[in-house]
């Protein structure tokens, strides 16, 4: 019987199950609104747990049920530490990669995303993310600014634990996006990157400036890499594939993290922008090396970690 269930059908089933779960969680969220006047902290915590349980279910499907083989390298991240986090963006699977570390460091409940508005329209998953309160960024800066300021004020006011995550490239890496980005790099005399797009630094700089001197003291720079048994480097499973059967040994996943203190970053906006670009230059070189030898040449070693 199981063999006749096609992959899209299975993804559809998982999708609707997750969406139903999400909608149920949403009921809890709506109920928690009554808590807000009593305790904003408790309201925050309830909503964090609700969102966290959604991420946890998704992560368990990928890592435990479908046995995704994820390796890690770079800096050891402390537990329970708030941070601004960014990573390269190739696929929807990048969310799972952020979560692989967040789950192991007690931060899965505290993910906050800036995501592109169009993600909202992915059937089930996008809707779920929308319900989960992902901050979708439109092109309307004023509207976005209001939403962002409200969120940040709340985080600062409650000294709430957070990972504020974004993909600074603005969109997923595709051949056409890369070609356009490279044209831009050449035109501006910027370094030519071939494994990532040129990052947009404005939003990140605003973020750093907002949290300087607060309880959010760190920036984590993530690099995600994917490997497919026959298609090779840079090929992640798609959303359907994540939900249809064992991922190992067909796919390999790698997460590299660098940790920086905000107080050590340049205070000048221009210099901070250059710093971000420099991180993407390093990311590009790192990925270029991984393209050659996967995790073999990584300095400081590679490890796996139970979750």
Which is closer to ligand NAG, CB of 80 or CB of 304? 80
d(CA 29, CA 75): 35
**Least separation in angstroms between CB 105 and ligand NAG:** 9
**Least separation in angstroms between CB 214 and ligand NAG:** 18
Which is closer to ligand NAG, CB of 104 or CB of 241? 104
Per-residue burial over 200-238, b if 16 or more Cβ lie within 10 Å, else e, is bbebbbebbebbeeeebbbbbbbbbbbbeeeeebbebbe
- Taking CB under 6 A as the criterion, which residues in 223-242 touch ligand NAG? none
Q: Which two tokens stand for residue 68?
A: 């995704």
**Least separation in angstroms between CB 78 and ligand NAG:** 7
Which is closer to ligand NAG, CB of 82 or CB of 223? 82
Please work out the total of residues on this chain that contact ligand NAG, with binding judged by CB under 6 A: 3
- Taking CB under 6 A as the criterion, which residues in 280-299 touch ligand NAG? none
139 makes contact with ligand NAG (CB under 6 A) = no
- Taking CB under 6 A as the criterion, which residues in 78-137 touch ligand NAG? 79-80, 106
79, 96, 107 from 17: Cα distances, Å: 31, 18, 24
Q: What is the CA radius of gyration of the chain?
A: 19
Q: Do the Cβ atoms of 107 and 289 come closer than 8 Å?
A: no
What backbone torsions phi and psi does residue 87 show, to the nearest 5 degrees?
Answer: -155, 165
In the complex, which residue's CB is closest to ligand NAG? 80
Which is closer to ligand NAG, CB of 112 or CB of 195? 112
Strand ranges in 16-120 using DSSP code E only, listed in sequence order: 70-74, 83-87, 111-116
**Least separation in angstroms between CB 108 and ligand NAG:** 12
Which is closer to ligand NAG, CB of 39 or CB of 149? 39
Which residues of the chain form contacts with ligand NAG (CB under 6 A)?
Answer: 79-80, 106
């Amino acid at each position: 019987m199981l063999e006749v269930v096609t992959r899209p059908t299975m993804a559809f089933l998982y999708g609707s199950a997750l969406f139903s779960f999400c909608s149920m969680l949403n009921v809890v969220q709506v109920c928690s609104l009554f808590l807000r006047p009593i305790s904003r902290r408790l309201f925050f915590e309830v909503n964090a747990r609700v969102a966290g349980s959604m991420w946890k279910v998704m992560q368990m499907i990928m890592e435990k049920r479908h046995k995704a083989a994820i390796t890690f390298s770079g800096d050891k991240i402390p537990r329970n530490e708030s941070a601004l986090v960014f990573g390269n963006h190739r696929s929807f699977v990048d969310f799972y990669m952020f979560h692989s570390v967040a789950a192991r460091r007690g931060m899965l409940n505290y993910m906050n995303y800036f995501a592109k508005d169009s993600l909202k329209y992915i059937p089930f998953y996008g809707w779920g993310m929308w319900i989960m309160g992902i901050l979708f960024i439109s092109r309307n800066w004023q509207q976005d600014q209001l939403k962002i300021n409200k969120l940040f004020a709340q985080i600062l006011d409650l000294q709430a634990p957070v990972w504020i995550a974004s993909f600074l490239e603005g969109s997923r890496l595709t051949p056409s996006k890369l070609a356009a980005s490279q044209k831009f790099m050449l035109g501006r005399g910027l370094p030519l990157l071939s494994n990532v797009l040129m990052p947009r630094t404005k939003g990140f700089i605003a973020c750093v400036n907002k949290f300087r001197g607060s309880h959010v003291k760190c920036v984590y720079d993530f690099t995600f890499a994917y490997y497919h048994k026959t298609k090779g480097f840079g090929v992640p499973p798609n959303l359907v594939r994540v939900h249809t059967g064992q991922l190992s040994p067909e796919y390999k996943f790698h997460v590299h993290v660098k940790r920086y203190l905000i107080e050590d970053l340049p205070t000048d906006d221009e210099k901070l922008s250059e710093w971000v670009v420099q991180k993407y230059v390093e990311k590009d070189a790192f990925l270029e090396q991984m393209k050659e030898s996967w995790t073999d040449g990584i300095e400081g070693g590679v490890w796996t970690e139970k979750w």
